[in-house]
């Protein structure tokens, strides 16, 4: 009878269940570290450097192996709209100081169905020096000019520049101009 009363009093009156977490508390991580996926070990973490993006950078938080913070992971924004979205384009002076970055932006705009390309379809973006030192103006030229033939290479690739190959059929170096670096003038001579 006594055993039944003790059991009943434990069940009804004072029998409180308490859960105790016996796991060790997570460590406090130092600079350049973050808790890994298990939550019990500090591991080195990373923060992205700003990539060279033609239309700007998006910074955001990310899980491990990134460090903690709101701007540790970085990605390039898509190029949309028009040339005004290009970070290398100065809309006031209509010039650029980074032709390669502007060309990357223009290629991206040309590939977006809803965006306005920098040049009419079929024309290629090139930069020509402006009156101000270090600034370049945008020009749209026919890309077939640089696709032409360059200097003669009758025996091997030797006379050709590193960015050219020898067209064995014609014995000339192709393309005539280095893409994205040199400008083909109206006479299709590299300037």
Do residues 137 and 148 both lie within one domain? Answer: no
pLDDT value at position 9? 46
Q: What is the DSSP letter of 171?
A: T
Quote the mean pLDDT of the chain.
Answer: 78
Which residue from 126, 120, 169, 167 is spatially nearest to 146, judged by alpha carbons? 126
Do residues 128 and 153 both lie within one domain? Answer: no
pLDDT tens figures, 109-119: 988 888 999 98
1 has pLDDT over 60: no
Of 124, 141, 158, the residue at which a domain comes to its end is 141
Mean pLDDT of 145-170: 75
Number of domains in the chain: 3
d(CA 78, CA 61): 19
158 has pLDDT over 70: no
d(CA 30, CA 65): 14
d(CA 75, CA 89): 20
- Please state, in angstroms and as integers, the Cα–Cα distance from residue 17 to each residue in 11, 12, 84, following that order: 11, 12, 66
What pLDDT band is residue 99 in, cutting at 50, 70 and 90?
confident
Task: With respect to residue 9, please indicate whether it lies within any of the assigned structural domains.
Answer: no
Q: How far apart are the first and last CA of the chain?
A: 110
d(CA 15, CA 184): 90
Task: With respect to residue 161, please indicate whether it lies within any of the assigned structural domains.
Answer: yes
Domain range holding 115? 81-141
């Amino acid at each position: 009878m006594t055993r039944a009363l003790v059991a009943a009093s434990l069940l009804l009156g004072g029998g409180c269940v308490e859960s105790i977490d016996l796991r060790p508390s997570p460590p406090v991580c130092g600079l350049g570290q973050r808790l890994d996926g298990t939550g019990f070990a500090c591991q080195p973490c990373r923060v992205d450097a700003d990539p060279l993006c033609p239309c700007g950078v998006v910074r955001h938080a990310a899980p491990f192996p990134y460090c903690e913070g709101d701007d540790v992971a970085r990605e390039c924004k898509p190029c949309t709209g028009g040339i005004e979205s290009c970070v290398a384009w100065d809309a006031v002076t209509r010039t650029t100081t980074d032709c390669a970055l502007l060309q990357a932006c223009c290629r991206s705009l040309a590939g977006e169905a809803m965006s306005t390309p920098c040049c009419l379809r079929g024309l290629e973006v090139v930069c020509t020096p402006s009156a101000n030192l270090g600034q370049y103006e945008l020009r749209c030229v026919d890309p077939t000019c640089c696709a032409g033939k360059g200097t003669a290479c009758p025996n091997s690739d030797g006379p050709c520049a590193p960015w050219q190959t020898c067209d064995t059929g014609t014995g000339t170096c192709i393309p005539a101009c280095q893409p994205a670096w040199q400008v083909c003038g109206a006479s299709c001579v590299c300037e």
